Amino acid sequence: MGPRNLIVAVVLVAALVSGIFVATQLQKRPVEPRTALVLPAPTPLPEFELVDQFGDAVTPATFRGQWSLVFFGFTHCPDICPLTLQVLASARDSLRAAGYQPLPRIVLVSVDPERDTPELMGRYVNHFGDGNLGLTGELVELTRLTSALGIYFQKQPGDAENYAVDHSAAVLLIDPRGNFHALFSGPHVAEDYVYDLPIIMEAE
Amino acid sequence: MRAIGLLASIVLLSACGEAPRPDLVATDVVVNRPLPGAAMSAAYLTLRNNSARTINITRVTSNAYALVQIHETTVEDGIARMRPLQKLEIPAGGAITLERGGKHLMLMRATPPTDTVSLQFYDGDRLLLTVESAYADAQLR
């Protein structure tokens, strides 16, 4: 090998090595969620006690050990509440179909505890798949949870049977340590959850 | 003269043969079955006004629900709200679409279940349209 060939060989090897280096760096580049806001410092849930659809107590400890997608709504809401729950269920179905683990649990917290009994919550959330939780309970306990999380709800005028409840449209992601970890503000689209959830959960 | 009379009657006959175009037409009708445990649900559709004047739907009734209200969901500043509307205003030659996450018919106080749901649309006391629909099959999931 003459000196000229040696120079060419060295240049080629250098190019190859730097190419590999750049490719590795690109792969290491963190992928960001496209819609979710991940909290810089995940915050623990406040002390509260509600009940699930089985009548069992639900406290911050209930949220440990599993990812949860939490939505605030009510069963006398025929439009946006089923729409949001359907988006979450559909996202979870897509992740399941792709073999993804772990799958987050879907939790509906009633902002209408006057009408939403545990039984009603159970029938409602079960429609959107197995393993979902429907929470209801005392108004004061609900308010403890919502005020700490920045969730708004306000019952509107109407008769005893026919009234609406305004409520935050956001979906909260609670991590397996029981911390409020990320926020999906909406509008809620299944593909956004399918894209963002693995990124957020794998970053843990 | 006789020929003209014959011609006139043919023209008249053919005019009678044409079905009159209704003023109000519904398409894309989706009636959701109430979710388990719920006595209420929602319906969505597009209403087209073929007439030369504005149509205001002020009342909707149903065979399967004792109360039907026109509602609108809005999400502003992160807050979801549902409000009753006094009317659906459909401009002459225009259309209005009721869809999920927006305007919808809120169906309340379900009466014993029926296979098909009828919806009657009134402008004041005037019945303008009756829509018959089966429940949507792939409801919600």
**Location of structure tokens 């209420």:** B40
B138 near A CB under 8 A: no
What residue type is A159 in one-letter code?
A: D
Residues from chain A that touch B106, judged by Cβ atoms under 8 A, are 78-79
Question: What was the pLDDT predicted at A21?
Answer: 61
Residue B34 contacts residue B40 (beta carbons within 8 Å):
yes
The residue of A79, A96, A151 whose CB has the most chain B CBs within 10 angstroms, and thus the best one to mutate to test that interface, is A79
What percent of chain B clears pLDDT 70, i.e. is strictly above it?
83
Three-state secondary structure readout of A138-167: CHHHHHHHHHHHCCCEEECCCCCCCCCEEE
B39 to each of A96, A115, A161, how far by Cα in Å?
A: 32, 12, 11
B12 has a pLDDT exceeding 50: no
Confidence band for B13, pLDDT divided at 50, 70 and 90: very low
Reading the block at residue A174, the tokens are 């609670």
Q: What is the pLDDT of residues A132-177, one digit of tens each?
A: 999 999 999 999 999 999 999 999 998 877 899 999 999 999 999 9
Residue A36 contacts residue A173 (beta carbons within 8 Å):
yes
Q: Which residues of A touch B (CB under 8 A)?
A: 75-80, 82-83, 86, 89-90, 119-120, 122-124, 126-129, 152, 162, 164, 166-170, 185-187
CB-nearest partner of A168 from B79, B83, B101: B79
B42 has a pLDDT exceeding 90: yes
CB contact under 8 A, A78 and B79: no
Domains present along chain B, CATH in parentheses? 21-134 (2.60.40.1890)
Tell me the mean pLDDT in the region B8-37.
74
Higher pLDDT, B43 or A160: B43
Tell me the mean pLDDT in the region B52-65.
96
A163 to each of A74, A116, A119, B74, how far by Cα in Å?
A: 11, 13, 20, 16
Higher pLDDT, B39 or B95: B95
Residue B52 contacts residue B93 (beta carbons within 8 Å):
yes
pTM of the model: 0.83
Residue A126 contacts residue A116 (beta carbons within 8 Å):
no
Phi, psi dihedral angles at A178 (to 5 degrees): 85, 20
What distance in Å separates the CA atoms of residue A160 and residue A114, rounded to the nearest whole number? 10
Mean pLDDT is lowest, of A138-142, B36-40, B136-140, for B136-140
Kindly give, in sequence order, each residue whose CB lies less than 8 Å from that of residue A124, ignoring residues fewer than 6 positions away: A75, A108, A134, B35, B36, B37, B38
Residues from chain A that touch B101, judged by Cβ atoms under 8 A, are 79-80, 83, 187
Q: What is the pLDDT of residues A189-201, one digit of tens each?
A: 999 999 999 999 9
Higher pLDDT, B32 or B13: B32
Question: What was the pLDDT predicted at A3?
Answer: 66
A1 has a pLDDT exceeding 70: no
Nearest chain A alpha carbon to B98: A79
3 state DSSP class of A81: helix
Beta pairing partners, A57 = A51
Confidence band for A119, pLDDT divided at 50, 70 and 90: very high
What percent of chain A clears pLDDT 70, i.e. is strictly above it?
91
What distance in Å separates the CA atoms of residue B1 and residue B33, rounded to the nearest whole number? 63
What distance in Å separates the CA atoms of residue A127 and residue A75, rounded to the nearest whole number? 12
CB contact under 8 A, B108 and A162: yes
CB contact under 8 A, A124 and B75: no
- The ipTM value here is 0.78
B63 has a pLDDT exceeding 80: yes
Question: What was the pLDDT predicted at A4?
Answer: 72
- The full DSSP string for B60-77 is EEESSEEEEEEEEEEEET
Q: What is the pLDDT of residues A2-23, one digit of tens each?
A: 667 777 777 777 766 666 665 6
Output the CA torsion sign for A115, A117, A123, A124. Answer: positive
CB contact under 8 A, A80 and B35: no
